[in-house]
Structure 1
């Protein structure tokens, strides 16, 4: 049979950086083909060549046996290729249904028809959404669902998914993998970029591994060759390739008679109501001791975003107070929060964690640029020297500290944010919201290694994550949010998984 997609000898260079070099790949109709590689290996660039975002500098592409040379994404869409990008391409100030109609409708907008189609797809694939909700009010996971449904509405013959599960919850991931299986069963080819090895084991018919822009491994039986794929990807073995999270040493209780240390974080009854008066966070109370990791679990949209915004100084609480190291920060802005020794790894790094138009050096030193001021100017040489050292320590991969932050892969952007926040001056407390979202297994291991290392130095951590397995492995305690309230809390042990799952669904035990 003629392959659905054939890539032969593709090359792509940006400036002096060779991103892809002699990459070849074949995709059959009805196949789910997983594309693996470390952050910055060239996976997103390869997907963007297929979707017409960029043109290859070398090599050829064929679609169903015919030459395929898309000049822009519209050409790819016209030939039945749809793509879910790693970063969202939605218009935040309009509704979900209007986002789905963009580029697909002329003349009078048929919103009712589109909403009905959207509901039908949502029910079929388990991705329900409110058609009339503003995108700006959706959680990260809900926005990803909009992107996926937008592609499915086109009924493509080739679906390219660039790390679609990085922002989804376990149930949503299962639903998406079922979507892939269903569309593949209808003859659609699926290219799935993922870092989650369990997904490869479940769904991939074949897999290709990229490293430094070149194909370094292929597998026709990826479920049976996970270990060799991991080794090809990161050039070393993990003790368990499906569990890259290092265990956190459990804190011992303070012995009786010894003074209890000042909490790294004390939150007392934080409540947040939105502009419509709806309570989003309800009397949230927690203590985080120095050197302790407290995990916050829950289905997205249950108050985690509001909690992080208040603790980051980006939003004001309606009621309640919070303290870091004994200093009250209630109502203080982000600058005061940072000055008090708080590191923030935000859920949405583009919205509040970086300035993508600035350089890597400027972003990685953003919270202490004042230290490099000389006679009203920035000492660029000192900045570049220190930025290089941080990039080396935290494995941030870029051609140089002077390149634009926007040119980094998503994973390298996240590692740069983590490097900046973990080196905050007088760091006492770290708020980490979804810190491993979109990272490969090697990077996940490194990120939690740095977080656990900070804890061993006495830093308290509040870790908000939708990855239950990661919370159970790295946290000391877990609190579960449901509709803005703490549904329950327990020690972070595997035996508590069922209990935590019940709390996340709103059931008490």
Structure 2
């Protein structure tokens, strides 16, 4: 294909760090070109160069063979390049049509005209939206549509999409990929940044793989070369890929023999004796400051040696559940027991002392102090073990940190570097290292443990979680990535509007049913897994939080 946008010998440095080096790449009209690479490989930097956010230090960008050096996004838009960022840039208190007019309308505002254009684009691409709906009232998937339509209204020649499916329902992901194909078929080039191999297999015409800021592989047959592309991405043979990471990225074959619903009292469906309880949730209910119910009668038992996945679109009570387990919030009613102790209103230190590990969904806000060193963050929950006569034994803590780094493959220049200087994957491994070595670990909460991580880090994180489960801990895995839950968990409960609305074994055959429940379609049968769940046939209460 003839390249619309070309990069020739491009390099970009940030201080002493080289983000991109000697990049040669071309993106053509009418194709879907996927960028694949680990965190820190340079994918976002490349996209930001194309969109004018950064300028190259070396090399040249060309459009239609002519030099292209944008001084900002305005120049990129004028050249026909639009970008859908991973984090939305919408004004929640404004209607959809007003958001679309921002930066595009001139002179007298023609809201009806923009609304008509919105409806026409929606019909053409299957992106239906209500023009006068308030953005803050839309679902995550609908907000994603607004971002895409905002770009399509500019009639771009090249559309860059950075991790666009990270927050979408399974059905919404499929719909978005169809939009990508429709956009490409109308002659627009699409650059899709994704970590999900299933998406590459489904829609990619070409793939460029980045590692360490350099192009290490290209493919014009991505569906047939997935294994070699992943090996190129991580720079090694990926021994655990087919058994774990490939499954949790949606590439599973229809594997049989996954965990089945429980049978009679004291045994599971296979006749094996049930293990003791690791944690029990009895009617947990949480209301926000405005009185809206965020978590509604959450009832569940997690047994030792099992992983229970909590599926659901973000904002359906998962954060409130995690805060209660971590001791950061108290429920309005209900109880939470773990390791045989009532921890409903316990302080975080008491929860740790009871043998509960907590990997929160926001590692920067809750799980770490990014300005402090890696060593201190590895032992935030048990610094008393390194004190003597009231003084900190920093040498002993540093030696223990080095052991943890080796054991959990936390890669850094040394234990004294600041936590914030680590890559996302290494930050997450450090948090897991701390929580998985909680003395007497009985129960582990892992909330969104792979958010923003690449395939190599995902494999490492889930291997650690499975090992903890194998050592007898019960695990509650909260994730918006359904494919990951199906690959790692033993059974799945679905949260919708704060309630458990269904339970299924974690098997690919139940993917469609679970996805439907995530979208608000109530389960047609009650759960039958170990420990049971809430009254799942009851519909969500009207007027509660979406």
Confirm or deny a common fold (TM above 0.5): yes
Residue 242 of structure 2, aligned match among 239, 242, 245: 239
1:476 and 2:479 correspond = no
Change (3 A) 1:107 1:435: farther
Q: Is the 8 A contact 2:502 2:522 kept in 1?
A: no
Residues of 1 paired with 2:513 and 2:334: CA distance?
Answer: 28
Alpha-carbon deviation of 1:349? 3.7
Q: Secondary structure at the match of 2:335?
A: strand
Alpha-carbon deviation of 1:206? 0.7
1:336-387 CA-to-partner distances (Å, cap 9, x unmatched) read 4444433333334444444555555554444445656689887666665544
1:203 and 2:219 correspond = no
Alpha-carbon deviation of 1:227? 1.8
Residues of 1 paired with 2:164 and 2:280: CA distance?
Answer: 35
Alpha-carbon deviation of 1:109? 7.7
Residue 522 (structure 2) aligns with:
506
Residue 288 (structure 1) aligns with:
302
1:265 and 2:279 correspond = yes
Residue 28 (structure 1) aligns with:
28
Change (3 A) 1:125 1:305: farther
Change (3 A) 1:390 1:2: same
Change (3 A) 1:139 1:271: farther
Residue 447 of structure 1, aligned match among 461, 471, 475: 461
1:179-202 CA-to-partner distances (Å, cap 9, x unmatched) read 211222232222111121111111
CA RMSD of aligned residues (A): 3.9
Alignment of 1:83-482 (within 5 A): 83-86=83-86, 88=87, 90=89, 94-95=93-94, 97=96, 103-104=103-104, 124-126=125-127, 147-234=147-234, 235-237=236-238, 238-239=241-242, 242-243=246-247, 263-358=277-372, 360-368=374-382, 385-401=399-415, 405-482=419-496
Alpha-carbon deviation of 1:162? 2.2
Residues of 2 paired with 1:58 and 1:507: CA distance?
Answer: 57
1:27-78 CA-to-partner distances (Å, cap 9, x unmatched) read 1112211111222222222222223333322222112322222333443334
Change (3 A) 1:17 1:502: closer
Q: Is the 8 A contact 1:344 1:421 kept in 2?
A: yes
Residues of 2 paired with 1:333 and 1:111: CA distance?
Answer: 52
Q: Is the 8 A contact 1:262 1:326 kept in 2?
A: no
Residues of 2 paired with 1:100 and 1:387: CA distance?
Answer: 50
Largest Rg, 1 or 2? 2
Moved more, 476-485 or 244-253: 244-253
Q: Is the 8 A contact 1:264 1:429 kept in 2?
A: yes
Gaps of 5+ in 1: none
Residues of 2 paired with 1:48 and 1:205: CA distance?
Answer: 22
Change (3 A) 1:2 1:231: closer
Residues of 1 paired with 2:95 and 2:237: CA distance?
Answer: 43
Residues of 1 paired with 2:368 and 2:128: CA distance?
Answer: 30
Change (3 A) 1:478 1:244: closer
1:2-34 CA-to-partner distances (Å, cap 9, x unmatched) read 521111122233343333221211111122111
Alpha-carbon deviation of 1:205? 0.9
1:17 and 2:17 correspond = yes
Q: Is the 8 A contact 2:491 2:506 kept in 1?
A: yes
Change (3 A) 1:207 1:450: same
Q: Secondary structure at the match of 1:179?
A: helix
Change (3 A) 1:157 1:310: farther
Residue 65 (structure 2) aligns with:
65
Moved more, 184-193 or 365-374: 365-374
Aligned residues: 506
TM-score using structure 2 length: 0.79
